[in-house]
Chains A and B, each alone.
Chain A
């Protein structure tokens, strides 16, 4: 299939980008792995569930309706259930390689003159003893299972970690009938207040959550952390403790909370595999972009959480700017992102930066990880094994990986990378994964028949 602009990712950023570019006369193909557009923020219940009131699971439903109706009104070609595993430059543009889901064995190619990456991110979870027990899920995962599958992980849940995502997760679970035993946030109440000015735009939303937490009688423990999850074959409870000003657990403050579910998260990490395979420069862990949301590879734009974590509103503004810019370049007209979008982006980036520093995991989190705690969930590598490798002289994630296999399993280090870097005392490094998804050998063989399967 041929198109002008291939947008990968149909979350807020990709939807805004596709609509902006299409409205400016560009042929757009929007590709997403999920069964329906929406991304993480606007994840929709599966059609078969016949949800008459999906808005009960959502915030800002009006914005979603605008996006959804826009998609219906515009000629955007939407390809759902398409898992993109790689994107490459070709002499006349780009080829986006996808696998048709859920089996992910049928290859599909989209050829485009330009590519816009709006792949969003996934959750960062820092390990603690017991975090591999069934019943312990990521906060976003609990949210995704609720919004998409109308399913909840248990009857009594603790929501823990740090970050703005914990609020909708706690209130969402409570609204769905789960008893939320506590919201455990490691940031102290003072930190948010200190960032008040930059957060001004976000505060009404925060106040709304406070009211909902109160209505559902969810106790909020700030400057607290989960030190251990208990259970034999599944979660039965957690130990929480209070943190001192330095971020260390205050001895003697531990207490037990019964629960059969723990939704835990410590922030977001960007999906950058496709950008990396196209040769785009990264800035730390995120895709580097210019003011028009262009990457340093001509013809490749990026927007949303892939370029820096900042929430759905920022993703919308960035997507719009990227879509306008891509359309202008493809049509050879002057780039014209609206000044209003540029202003909104600047403001939202400031509040994102403030949120980011207000919500930080406890400074000494690696100390919490006991030697027998599994760090790499796929290869079952413990913190003790990682520390041994460090003692042997491994100084970074890559060497630890070679010595211990941490990061070599199915998830390709997406779940353990931050923890291994933290134990090693170095900043997390980009994944450098050749493929964004596992690829069946048969598909690879067809791709490069002269080389044969590797």
Chain B
């Protein structure tokens, strides 16, 4: 049994994206995080100061651990962003560029 079988999923045709240059199969409707998990990938960010690997933690957009670069845009939350055909997904090193306002 796998989750797709459990839910009786009949997704549309799979498509290809790349993760750090290598091809990964993805399904319509998946988030970037779900597609990477399905491909056995669990980390796609290295932290700013210690360079430690990170991936999904909260799964619902709250923790920002899953930040990733998609099509050149850094700081996308992989657990929220839907994966699209041809996406170029890359491990985000450190911050990417700061583009949002923080309420420190």
Contacts and interface: CB of A to CB of B under 8 A. Distances in A.
- A in complex with B: yes
Interface of A: 33, 35, 40, 45-54, 56-57, 101-102, 122-123, 132-138, 140-146, 148-154, 175-177, 233-235, 377-378, 380, 408-412, 414-415, 433-435, 438-441, 444, 453-454
Interface in B30-70: 30-31, 33-35, 37-38, 42-43, 47-50, 52-65, 67
Given A48-B30, A152-B3, A377-B54, 4 more contacts: A45-B9, A52-B7, A151-B37, A176-B2
Contact of A176 (B3, B12, B55): B3
Q: Pick the 8 closest A-B CB pairs, nearest first.
A: A48-B29, A141-B59, A149-B34, A46-B29, A48-B28, A410-B64, A53-B8, A52-B8
Interface string B72-84: 0000000111100
Nearest to B46: A233
Nearest to A264: B57
B101 A441 contact: yes
16 contacts: A48-B27, A50-B11, A56-B8, A102-B82, A133-B53, A134-B42, A138-B58, A175-B1, A176-B2, A177-B1, A177-B3, A380-B49, A410-B63, A410-B102, A438-B101, A444-B101
B100 A50 contact: no
A261 B55 CA distance: 12
B37 A134 contact: no
Nearest to A123: B58
Given A53-B6, A380-B47, A411-B64, A138 B57 contact: yes
A239 to B, nearest CB: 20
B22 interface: no
Contact of A122 (B1, B54, B62): B62
A149 B2 CA distance: 12
Interface residues of B, number: 53
What is the predominant secondary structure among interface residues of chain A facing chain B?
Answer: loop
Given A380-B50, A412-B103, A144 B10 contact: no
Interface of B: 1-12, 27-31, 33-35, 37-38, 42-43, 47-50, 52-65, 67, 79-82, 99-104
Contact of B3 (A137, A141, A150): A150
B62 to A, nearest CB: 5
B4 to A, nearest CB: 5
A414 B103 contact: no
B53 A233 contact: yes
B22 to A, nearest CB: 17
A306 to B, nearest CB: 14
B60 A177 contact: no
Contacts of B27: 48-49
Given A234-B42, A439-B100, A177 B6 contact: yes
Contact of A138 (B31, B37, B59): B59
A148 B101 CA distance: 29
Contact of A33 (B11, B61, B104): B61
A175 B101 contact: no
Contacts of B57: 136-138, 141, 377, 415
Nearest to A176: B3
B61 A150 contact: no
A111 B99 CA distance: 28
A152 B58 CA distance: 13
A145 B58 contact: no
A440 B73 CA distance: 14
Contacts of B63: 138, 377, 410-411, 414-415
